[in-house]
Amino acid sequence: MPKGLNKQRMYSPDPPDPRFPGPAQFDLIVEGSSLDKFAREGARLRCIDVDLNNAEILNGDVVVIERCKGGEIELLGKRALRQGEALELWSESTNDFWREPVIRYDRLESRREDLRIIAKILYAY
């Protein structure tokens, strides 16, 4: 079965991105084909915690969402596209398994229990 992102945050030995506070930065590992348009399986993703950094999600950013589905928590990468005050979260995969319907995420509903944006992905390496 395809996987999303490894849930374990890793702190990289590489220098932090100077644009953001060091403690807000962490890496995730891509598992499977969930982000294959952006990064291959095994790639590291440099992320910033949106709660620790109060990062603004801009149109076109790739974000990490935490979703509760069937009693399990999964981490997924999605492309954020603005539609007024709401964000549409689009798949970044060529695999049909990940081509689910677009997720609408409205700031007014940001307290949803089943879904939350936890990080902004800066780059893959």
- Write the pLDDT tens digit of every residue in 30-74: 998 889 999 999 999 999 999 998 888 999 999 999 988 788 888
17 within some domain: no
Count: domains in the chain: 1
| 10 within domain boundaries | no
Print the domain residue range for 45. 22-124
Report the CATH number at residue 50: 2.10.109.10
Q: What's the whole-number mean pLDDT along residues 14-21?
A: 91
Model confidence band, residue 14 (pLDDT cutoffs 50, 70, 90): confident
Q: What letter does residue 102 receive in the DSSP assignment?
A: P
Asked if residue 7 is part of any domain, the answer here is no
pLDDT of residue 46: 96
Q: Please compute, for residue 117, the number of CA atoms within 13 A of its CA located in the half-sphere on the CB side.
A: 29
What pLDDT shows up at residue 55?
Answer: 85
* Adjacent-strand bridge partners of 67: 74, 115
Bridge-based pairing state of the strands 115-124 and 44-49: antiparallel
Residue 124 main-chain phi, psi, to 5 deg: -115, 145
12 inside domain:
no
The label of the residue with tokens 């677009």 reads 102
Q: Is residue 53 part of a domain?
A: yes
One-letter amino acid of 70: G
Token pair listed for 23: 């403690």
* Residue 1 pLDDT exceeds 50: no
Asked if residue 64 is part of any domain, the answer here is yes
pLDDT tens figures, 62-121: 999 998 878 888 898 999 998 888 889 999 999 888 777 677 777 655 556 788 899 999
pLDDT, residue 62, reads 97
Structure confidence at residue 77 (pLDDT): 92
What are the strands of the beta sheet with 62-69, ordered from one edge?
Answer: 25-29, 44-49, 115-124, 62-69, 72-83, 86-90, 103-106
Sign of CA dihedral 31, 36, 42, 46: negative
Within a domain: 13:
no
Tell whether 27 is covered by a domain.
yes
Whole-prediction pTM: 0.85
